[in-house]
Amino acid sequence: MQVFHHVASLRQALNTVRSTGKTIGFVPTMGNLHDAHIELINIARQHCDLVVVSIFVNRLQFSLNEDWDIYPRTMQQDMARLREANCNYLFHPDENEIYPNGMDEQTRVICPAMSDVLCGASRPGHFEGVTTVVAKLFNIVQPHKAVFGIKDFQQLALIRRMVEDLCIPLEIIPAPVHREADGLAMSSRNGYLTPQERTKAAVLNQVLNWARTQIKQGRRDFAALEQEATTKIEQTGFKVDYFSICHSSNLQPAACDDSAITLLGAMYTSRARLIDNVSLKL
């Protein structure tokens, strides 16, 4: 695995790769890698000749009271995992390399569609930070394909829209949610859970699946379903940020005759905010 810290040297290496006709897959991450990240790399390898992974904890997507300063940074372990996964190139820039003119004067990429609902409502400016850094990384790596997890469903939808709107010539490949044995979606923030919280954290996925079953069985009183689901989660001791039943393509509240529906939920533990989702077609 070759490691790069600078845009110019990575571009030079990837230009050489492109000249041989090989395809480049890309997996952007913030590090603290777990099995779900490795699965993204495996999917990228299935579709492309070689894989580039980036590790950059992007301060621009963290709100003032969020966990940027304590977000887990585990570079040595991450590099060992990447080597085991046969990653070809690691791009690990510092903040000055990504934002050479400072973040205050950084040109922003704003995707107004779907950015102010769900996680966007709870985390103002978050998705502006995501789309800005992902657009920069796409321009730096210029991959043929990029892999993003469905767990971050809203993020995936926004990045797809950004790629379409900005005519970026790459394919976005969605990766299924990678889960623990009890159904909890894998996340770097799962490490914030206390042992007691960990025994109950799968409730979010369980309630999402319960609500999906209710819809499959014919229920269309979505507002009532959302309230019942919220109550079920709160009864386990977690605070619900949102539980929403949405149209899969635009994340607007689902109508009773929609055929593609996604149920999305977010809840707070003592130190973490966990998200998950499930989809269905009627």
CB 204 within 8 A of CB 233: yes
Provide the β-strand partners of residue 2.
Answer: 89
Element (H, E) at 128: helix 126-141
In the block, residue with structure tokens 């996680």: 119
User: To 10 degrees, the CA torsion angle through 145, 149, 155, 159?
Assistant: 10
CB-side neighbour CA atoms (13 Å) of 67: 13
Write down the catalytic residue from 37, 47, 126, 178.
37
Contacts of 100 (CB under 8 A, 6+ apart): none
- What is the spatial distance between Cα 161 and Cα 152, in angstroms, rounded to a whole number? 14
Active site residue 37: yes
Contacts of 145 (CB under 8 A, 6+ apart): 23, 24, 25, 26, 44, 47, 48, 170, 171, 172, 173
What positions carry a catalytic annotation?
A: 37
